[in-house]
Structure 1
Amino acid sequence: MKLFQFLKYSLVILISFLSCSDGNVSDSSGTPLPTNPPVVLTDEQLLTQVQRDAFKYFWDYAEPNSKLARERYHVDNPDYDKDIVTTGGSAFGLMTLLVGAERGFVSRGQVVSRMQTALNFLENADRFYGAWPHWINGTNGNVIPFGTMDNGGDLVETSFLCQALICVREYFKNGTTEEQALAQKADNLWRGVNWQWYTKGENALYWHWSPNYGWQMNFKLEGYNECLITYIMAAASPTHPVGATAYHQAWARNGAIQNSSIQYNLPVIFSYNGSPGNVGPMFWSHYSYLGLDPRGLTDQYANYWQLTQNHSKIMYNYCVANPGNWNGYSQKCWGLTASYTRNADGSLGYSEHKPTNDRGIITPTAALSSFPYTPTESMKVLRYLYDEKKNTHVGIAGPYDAFSPHYNWVTKTYLAIDQGTIVPMIENYRTGFLWNLFMQAPEVRTGLQSLGFASAQHGF
């Protein structure tokens, strides 16, 4: 009898619940009781969330043999280009893993084990006068041509990797015996790059060398673009250094790198290659600065904090002004950089988005990796992605690579070089973690000083 009464009472409660038009529980008068509002993360919690999500690209979706970063990952076609390891993207991935260890996304021991595999792979992979190629086959370490003549050393991608290797060394150098061995391996790999070879005997650095085509690509590194770190690493090398003359003559173009243009009442400062009087894609203020700290960094040509911060502010103001009249651009939806794009026929392509090549495509990494420079403006984008668009714009490893409100288009894809700057740059904004690791390296300080740099932030 008691069981019957209990079931009858439970049924009455259930019917009462279902009878409410909005599904809320009601009191005895039939008035719906308030329900708990959805949990809204604080800014700090949200920063940790996007870092944890983007970390997954380099942990859960790494190339399985090398444990380095796959060039790309297509959610709907996970086997696409599954064996292609990207050198630059792997560099950003190593730095992302350091943040993961520091924040406890995985254990320090797990990161050491993962990096042992990765660095052993790099030790045995194809190298060309010490430089790694742009793409490596993750199953065997052989070069995969990035183009017909681009089947040898890629000095720029290698410089990104060396920036990461120094951070790895600095993080683990005073640790356990196993960690110290990892730090030593990272140091040996970085020391093995012959930067002098990539000058062709000139006062300049060149991007590519091929065992089949030699110097035919003939790409001299001249500023300003993403390659500042290449000259810094070449100057910092304890084994094959390249002197300051190359930096001043080639990179700084004997002073012609400077630009007096103004955009949105902000000095542009440098002449961005291919964009005279305007700014380039946002990755030019990310790739070199994952380790290189622009705060208080100066030389005879620029204040680098002003340079990078103005770049981000100009990009923000450009998107808000929206001269192309793209639907959806706003204070919470901005940021142009190289990424996947939507071709005119609706197919998937790739483009270097910037004010002079604006195709209506927003790339999340542009704003998210600019947190150090524009924290308020970048937080608006992060809120937009996670509070308003999470179901469509955020996937298995954080925000998808690119989207367009104008075309109602989102690509469910990831690129290592885009996903890879999010975690490090947000961490630099929050704690300066990677900036402090890189800038404390003695050869980095020596190299920077040899080029005429000073750092108020780091005391030299």
Structure 2
Amino acid sequence: MMSNKKVKNLPVTDPQGTDEDMLDKLQKETFDYFLNEVNPVTGLIADKTEPGFPSSIAVTGMAITSYIIGVEKKILSRKNAIERILKILRFFYDSQQGKQLNATGYKGFYYHFLKMNNGERAWNCELSTIDTSLFIAGALCAAAYFKNINREEAEIRDLADKLYRRIDWQWALNNGDTICQGWKPRSGFLRYRWDENYSEAMIMYILALGSPTFPINPTGYKKWTASFTVTKVYDTSYLYAGPLFIHQFSHMWIDFRGIKDSFNKKAGFDYFENSRRATYIHRQYAIENKLQFTDYGEYCWGLTASDGPGKKTLKIDGKKRVFYNYIARGAPYGPDDGTVSPWAVVASLPFAPEIVIGTIRNAIERFNLKPHRLHGFNASFNPTFPENTENLNGWVSPWMFGLNQGPVVIMIENYNTESIWNIMKQCPYLIEGLQLAGFSGGWLDKI
């Protein structure tokens, strides 16, 4: 097993001050992504910083939520935030809905990727049920936050409501009980459904259940959660999902502390506790480091969907190593090629701050993974991969990704103030969805 000595012997390159100062700086620098990677006409947010890349609808939903945080943190005026959010909501409401190949969406859903300048479908991608859900979660968050009696804030509430009501969740069932993962105009529904194994689909099902226009039957949700099985890893029982993002995305908007559905009641722990256990398992996996990746240890861990050094097979120190491009990496069962994502650690901050904060500090002060102060952390790095870069710790992703930035901004805020969780507790559709899914207890019983 490789030791962590290399990490401990590195000089402190960027002292961060107190933990509070460190998190505040990281949040503000990451927030800049949503100010800079935006189209001035459509309001759409780029999926990544690589030139020519389209927008991601999920990232755009995260941007809406981040703009609210910007107002709360006084790094964005309320007027500016309203202008940005209205631009996005107006665009989506007015955009083309239909079976045309270049439409923005259909049946209230939207294509996974859209061209930045006009919102047309990009890359022959699918109409995405989960990414539409992440977008609409941001829209509903804005509707719950902007409560003032004036024309602009009333329009935010109206547009968000209309966009949500337009989503035909029943159509997305495709004559089944569970929701299909996507649809294409020429070939129809994708073959895969959100019908087995724990995933980021939790927020999608809750929004589909709470719909006032096209709600799905709770049977589908119960069928999905009936497939969940508790796994024991490192003497810890939890609901397994390898990549950390699965344990984080729904939690950006929903406070799962103390509320339980039928699976939780049977398992004996809620989904928040499950994410806490998953976070610890990722760290323990790195400490044990059975695959002997460079620098893995107590302060270097965190596997998720991330950029990678490329699809290559190399022999390093006599050992054959297989590396990947952008894939969903996971622990403890892989895949893993030594690529670590510091943003994924930050997104676990509310679950386990006692192990996350030190790891964030290590990524900044020891690994120098926030060198430019533009958009926060580097997306991912791989100290095992033999590549010479400005960073002395091996391969570092040259791009920033919106799907990384949103969780950093939002989960730091939920850790500090719980504000996004509290805002969403004012969303009647979310409450309805949770109750229809069978959740009870905790804060939900006090509504």
Q: Compute the TM-score of the two structures, normalised by the length of structure 2.
A: 0.85
How far off is 1:230 after superposition?
Answer: 1.0
Q: Does 1:44 align with 2:20?
A: yes
Q: 1:446 aligns with which of 432, 438, 445?
A: 432
Q: Which residue of 1 aligns with 2:157?
A: 183
Matched position secondary structure for 1:420: helix
Structure number with higher relative contact order (C-alpha < 8 Å, ≥ 6 residues apart)? 2
Q: Which residue number in structure 2 is paired with residue 335 of structure 1?
A: 302
CA contact (8 A) 1:385 1:394 kept: no
Structure 1 residue 109 corresponds to structure 2 residue 71: no
Report 1:49-128 matches (<5 A): 49-74=25-50, 79-81=51-53, 84-125=54-95, 126-128=104-106
Corresponding position of 2:319: none
| 1:312 CA drift (Å) | 1.1
Matching residue of 1:289: 251
Q: Distance in 1 between matches of 2:376 and 2:144?
A: 28
2:379 to 391, 396, 401: 401
Q: Displacement, 1:211? A: 2.2
* Distance apart, 1:344 and its partner CA: 4.7
TM-superposed deviation, 1:120? 1.4
Ranges in structure 2 where 5+ consecutive residues have no aligned partner: 1-13, 96-103, 265-269, 314-322, 386-393
1:284, distance to aligned residue in structure 2 (A): 0.2
Q: Is the Cα contact below 8 Å between 2:369 and 2:377 reproduced in 1?
A: no
Post-superposition offset of 1:388: 2.7
* Secondary structure at 2:198 match in 1: coil
**Amino acid in the other structure paired with 2:229:** Q
In 2, the alpha carbon distance for the partners of 1:387 and 1:171 equals 36
Specify the alignment match of 1:301 in structure 2.
Answer: 263
Please say if residues 393 and 410 of structure 1, whose CA atoms lie closer than 8 Å, have aligned partners that are also in contact: no
Q: How does 1:204-215 map to 2 (within 5 A)?
A: 204-215=178-189
Residue 95 of structure 1: how far off its partner (Å): 1.2
Paired position in structure 1 for 2:400: 414
**SS of residue in 1 equivalent to 2:170:** helix
Amino acid corresponding to residue 288 of structure 1 in structure 2: S
Offset at residue 393 of structure 1 (A): 5.1
1 CA distance for matches of 2:329 and 2:381?
12
Distance 1:357 1:113, change over 3 A: same
Q: CA deviation at 1:247?
A: 0.7
Distance 1:287 1:146 in 2: 25
Instruction: Report deviation, 1:206.
Output: 0.7
Which residue type is aligned with residue 172 of structure 1? F
Q: Take 2:359 and 2:327, find their aligned partners in 1: how far apart are those partners?
A: 21
Alignment of 1:27-426 (within 5 A): 40-74=16-50, 79-81=51-53, 84-125=54-95, 126-147=104-125, 150=126, 153-249=127-223, 251-252=224-225, 255-259=226-230, 261-268=231-238, 270=239, 272=240, 279-302=241-264, 303-345=270-312, 349-355=325-331, 356-390=334-368, 395-407=373-385, 408-426=394-412
Partner of 2:4: none
Deviation by residue 1:419-445 (Cα, 9 ceiling, x = unmatched): 211110111111111111112212211
Give the secondary structure class of the aligned counterpart of 2:361: helix
Which whole-Å CA distance do the structure 2 matches of 1:119 and 1:373 have between them?
32
Letter in 1 for 2:94: N
Q: Is contact 2:273–2:351 with CA below 8 Å preserved after alignment?
A: no
1:434 to 406, 420, 445: 420
TM-score, normalised to structure 1, is 0.83
Cα distance in structure 1, aligned partners of 2:158 and 2:25: 32
Uncovered stretches (5+) of structure 1, i.e. residues with no partner: 1-37, 273-278
Q: Counterparts of 2:415 and 2:40 in 1: how far apart (Å)? A: 31
CA RMSD, Structure 1 to Structure 2 (Å):
2.0
Identity across the alignment (%): 27
Residue identity opposite 1:90 in structure 2:
T
What is the identity, as a one-letter code, of the residue corresponding to 1:64? P
Aligned AA (1:94):
I
How many angstroms apart in 2 are the aligned matches of 1:106 and 1:177?
20
Q: What secondary structure is seen at the aligned counterpart in 2 of 1:457?
A: helix
Provide, for residues 238-293 of structure 1, a one-character-per-residue CA deviation record: whole Å limited to 9, x for no partner.
111111111112x12xx23122x21122112x3x4xxxxxx310000111111111
Q: Compared with structure 1, are the counterparts of its residues 88 and 171 closer, same or farther at alpha carbon in structure 2 (3 Å cutoff)?
A: same
Q: Which amino acid aligns with 2:39?
A: E
Q: How many residues align?
A: 402
**Larger Rg belongs to:** 1
Runs (4+) of structure 1 moved beyond 4 Å?
Answer: 391-395
Local SS of the residue matching 1:305:
helix
What displacement does 1:40 show?
A: 4.3
Distance 1:394 1:381, change over 3 A: farther
Q: 1:39 to 1:415 in 2, by over 3 A?
A: closer
Contact 2:66–2:409 (8 Å) recurs in 1: yes
Instruction: Report the secondary structure of 1:342's partner residue.
Output: coil
In structure 2, the CA distance between the partners of 1:403 and 1:257, relative to structure 1 (3 Å rule), is same
Kept after mapping to 2: 8 A contact 1:129/1:194: yes
Matched letter for residue 173 of structure 1: K
Does 229-238 or 321-330 show the bigger shift? 321-330
CA distance, structure 1, for counterparts of residue 288 and residue 56 of structure 2: 36
CA distance in 2, matches of 1:368, 1:391: 13
